[in-house]
Structure 1
Amino acid sequence: MWVRLLCAVIVLGFITAGQAAGQEKTFDAWWRGMVETAKDIPCGDRPFRVKWRVVDARSPSPQEIDALRRSIAGHPEHPDRTLLAQLENITAGKPFWVEKQFWIRGSQFRRSDNDSRGDGHGNDCALGDGVAWSLNARELVVMSDTKLAPGYPLDAELSILKPEFGTLMTGGLSYFRRYLDHVRPALTSDTTWDASGTAAFDGDVFEVRIKGTWNPGEGWGTVEEASSHVPASPTPNGWMFRSAHWVPNAILGRPAAKAVTQFDASGKPERRMELIEYEPIDDARFEQIIALPKLNEPDPIRGALTFSSVTDYRPGKPLQRLINPEGQETTRVLPDPLDRPSRNWLRYTGWLTAGAIVVVLVFIRLKRGK
């Protein structure tokens, strides 16, 4: 009898060990897929559409708003006037949000934005085969897909947008993609896992911590929280993401988060990203969506268009067509902006530098006053 019992225990041990090894192998495969997605959202030849919303989750103090008011007083063109309006709306219970749609096939795409300010503030841009364009309620700008006009860095759109909607695909890992090769994930129980490690970049050593849940029955996990900071820094630093409501995603073949909240170094929420839709589309629909808009034809996304200026920077002499309310057009030849560098960045950089100095001075003053 004792021999039988001992044999049963040994067999059970082998079975349990085999199951554990199988779970670890499945977990490792899931983690590798998450890391690959975090580093670069797969955008193959099959077009798809993703729609999400970014909500301002900050809770500014009266002192912060007053400091911002003083910093822009007397400067009617200061870029932070928009920020001030957003913060004032937050205190009134009307947080600013931007709703984004993105259609992509390989390197071709269209991006369409709307925000809480309502009609007239949306904008679109697209990069297609042979042509690129940017559109708002007043103006259509047309360019070659291989020679973009200054001030229209459409070739950078993918590097900006992919980490943002990739955050929903990975629970925030897209913003930690350069650290992921330096962390070691492991199951900590049948239903939980974590990963931690350190990574050195630009002279700083970052400490990274990620944790989540594991579904052993279906072989996939979630990322509940991801954070990084520089322990040696004398000032608060780093960021953190928390995700929730993971749901199956047919395109990824695994669940994605419906909501991800980003927190600042002090633990206060900054913004919340909410996944609305993520779906495949066919090639014919994609071609309609990225086609160059025409004033007298409804756009498949915007409907009736209202722009009254068309600036065409495609090869040849740049032209601008102005259309009055009666539909009459005037055309003028423009200097070619592609032959000279843009100086807009100097003005913008000046505002940013001045704003940063004001913020630092206000922060020091508030600290001393405590």
Structure 2
Amino acid sequence: MGMGMGSLSGRTHACSLALSLCMTLVLSAKAQELGSLDWFREEWGRAQTWQPPAPVAAEYSVSTYEIYSEQELAALEQRIAGKPDHPDRPKVVAVQQFMQRGGDVLRYRLWYYSEEEWRVSRDDLNTNLGFFDMGRSRSVVWGMSDTELSLLDSEIRAPVGYEYKATGLGLIRLHLALFMSPFSIDAGRGLRPTRTEVNGENWRGWASTPTGDLAVIYDGRLETKSGIIDVTEYRIGRFDASPDAVGSKVVFSEWADVLDGTVRAARLRRHLRADGTVKATYALDDVRPSSQSEVGSVTGIPRRGSNDPVRGTIVAEVVNDFRPAVAATAVYRDGSQVRQSPLPGQRLVPASPSAWRAFGWVVAGAIVVGLIILRVRHARV
């Protein structure tokens, strides 16, 4: 009798284990169901810590249009009126010039191996402002235009206006993420997936903050056979801090396998305002696997008179060396140095251990404005 009860108890325990295992498998399968809320949460979590593939080389163009309305620009102009030393004056002047041109068409080329080795090269295609490049070669961060070259210690805080380390890395992550990882748009803003819907080949996902003051909606195309969902649209459904942004959207198209089939990327991305007008267009022309040797060849420390693999002979008229051991500006005319003067140099304050940031719409706008100001400042040299 004891044996019978023991056997029954054993069988019951075994059945319980089997049932538990079956339930676990079912739940696991359900968690992986394409387009489900569990799938959305998993993909969302992965996107919040997204890093660029490496080593990689890419080329793309960005067409940007007005970044401020006429009313917003008027308010900025009013703020600096009669105040020649107002800290916002360079920003306002840069934005005025930008809007007078009706926007910019920029071509970007980038190479990325790690946070310590990368380069971003940018050409202005509808202005006479030339190029501007930023890069890092381990201990040195540098910025270069056709008239100016600046060198900085990568481990020490950069002077205001020369934050190439944060700006360059931020741009690489922001731009590549928006081609390759749409769920990264709101990384770091406290949103979390709340629900999903699947209707045939159409998928929709909602995400919001716990308080509901910010809510976004994603649409996508579901391909069951290949097990992927290509996001086709992102839009803001609610934004209490900026109600005018509600209805703004990003439209993704021309999805394709890139980097030897290891990554999906949207080759065309359009940013639209709430009224439907286009704010910016990003077109991915080429992306390919690179190598440490290739990245190393384009990130070497630029020196006046040397041959740069991207720009050719460096003929900068001004060389700013902020590194503490030098801390000087040298000015050249007709190939000869005509003046050298001391620089304040970099403050001996450690730089941030990592330049990665959470990038949303606000930070993206700040990078755009920052690059406009950098371009205007270098054009005046």
**Global fold match (TM > 0.5):** yes
> Partner letter of residue 202 of structure 2?
T
Deviations for 1:138-179, whole angstroms, at most 9, x for unmatched residues? 221111111143122233222344123311113x43222246
Q: Is 1:333 paired with 2:339?
A: no
Residue 288 of structure 1: aligned partner: 297
Deviations for 1:259-305, whole angstroms, at most 9, x for unmatched residues? 11222344432112221221111221111111011222221111222
Residue 199 of structure 1: aligned partner: 209
Cα offset, 1:116, TM superposition: 2.7
Give the whole-Å Cα distance in 2 for the aligned partners of 1:284 and 1:220. 34
Residue 188 of structure 1: aligned partner: 198
Shift in alpha-carbon separation, 1:328–1:235, aligned structure 2, 3 A? closer
Secondary structure class of the residue paired with 2:245: coil
Q: Is 1:215 paired with 2:223?
A: yes
Q: 1:299 aligns with which of 305, 308, 322?
A: 308
Q: Is 1:111 paired with 2:120?
A: yes
Give the whole-Å Cα distance in 2 for the aligned partners of 1:59 and 1:231. 18
Cα offset, 1:36, TM superposition: 5.5
Shift in alpha-carbon separation, 1:306–1:252, aligned structure 2, 3 A? farther
Cα offset, 1:219, TM superposition: 1.6
1:240–1:264 contact (8 Å) kept in structure 2: yes
Q: 1:271 aligns with which of 276, 280, 287?
A: 280
Shift in alpha-carbon separation, 1:37–1:133, aligned structure 2, 3 A? farther
Deviations for 1:327-368, whole angstroms, at most 9, x for unmatched residues? 34644433335269xxxxxxxxxxx9xxxxxxxxxxxxxxxx
Give the whole-Å Cα distance in 2 for the aligned partners of 1:321 and 1:164. 34
Secondary structure class of the residue paired with 1:255: strand
Cα offset, 1:189, TM superposition: 3.2
> Partner letter of residue 271 of structure 2?
Q
> Partner letter of residue 42 of structure 1?
Q
Shift in alpha-carbon separation, 1:33–1:196, aligned structure 2, 3 A? closer
2:135–2:165 contact (8 Å) kept in structure 1: no
Q: Is 1:164 paired with 2:175?
A: yes
Q: Is 1:144 paired with 2:153?
A: yes
Shift in alpha-carbon separation, 1:251–1:104, aligned structure 2, 3 A? farther
1:52–1:165 contact (8 Å) kept in structure 2: no
RMSD over aligned Cα atoms? 3.7
Secondary structure class of the residue paired with 1:176: coil
Cα offset, 1:107, TM superposition: 0.9
Secondary structure class of the residue paired with 1:35: helix
Secondary structure class of the residue paired with 1:279: strand
Shift in alpha-carbon separation, 1:308–1:257, aligned structure 2, 3 A? same
Cα offset, 1:38, TM superposition: 3.6
Q: Is 1:56 paired with 2:101?
A: no
1:23–1:216 contact (8 Å) kept in structure 2: no
**Deviates further, 71-80 or 182-191:** 71-80
Give the whole-Å Cα distance in 2 for the aligned partners of 1:156 and 1:38. 20
Higher RCO (C-alpha 8 Å, min separation 6): 2
Give the whole-Å Cα distance in 1 for the aligned partners of 2:197 and 2:56. 33
Secondary structure class of the residue paired with 2:151: strand
Unaligned 5+ runs, structure 2: 1-25, 350-365, 367-381
Shift in alpha-carbon separation, 1:47–1:161, aligned structure 2, 3 A? closer
Give the whole-Å Cα distance in 2 for the aligned partners of 1:105 and 1:235. 39
Residue 51 of structure 2: aligned partner: 42
2:191–2:210 contact (8 Å) kept in structure 1: no
Give the whole-Å Cα distance in 1 for the aligned partners of 2:190 and 2:312. 43
2:191–2:208 contact (8 Å) kept in structure 1: no
Shift in alpha-carbon separation, 1:120–1:179, aligned structure 2, 3 A? closer
Residue 321 of structure 2: aligned partner: 312
Secondary structure class of the residue paired with 1:183: strand
Shift in alpha-carbon separation, 1:273–1:236, aligned structure 2, 3 A? same
Residue 346 of structure 1: aligned partner: none
Q: 2:106 aligns with which of 95, 98, 119?
A: 98
Give the whole-Å Cα distance in 1 for the aligned partners of 2:152 and 2:240. 47
> Partner letter of residue 84 of structure 1?
Q
Give the whole-Å Cα distance in 2 for the aligned partners of 1:193 and 1:114. 38
Cα offset, 1:306, TM superposition: 2.1
Q: Is 1:154 paired with 2:180?
A: no
> Partner letter of residue 80 of structure 1?
V
> Partner letter of residue 48 of structure 2?
K
2:141–2:165 contact (8 Å) kept in structure 1: no
Unaligned 5+ runs, structure 1: 1-17, 341-351, 353-370
**Deviates further, 76-85 or 97-106:** 76-85
1:295–1:305 contact (8 Å) kept in structure 2: yes
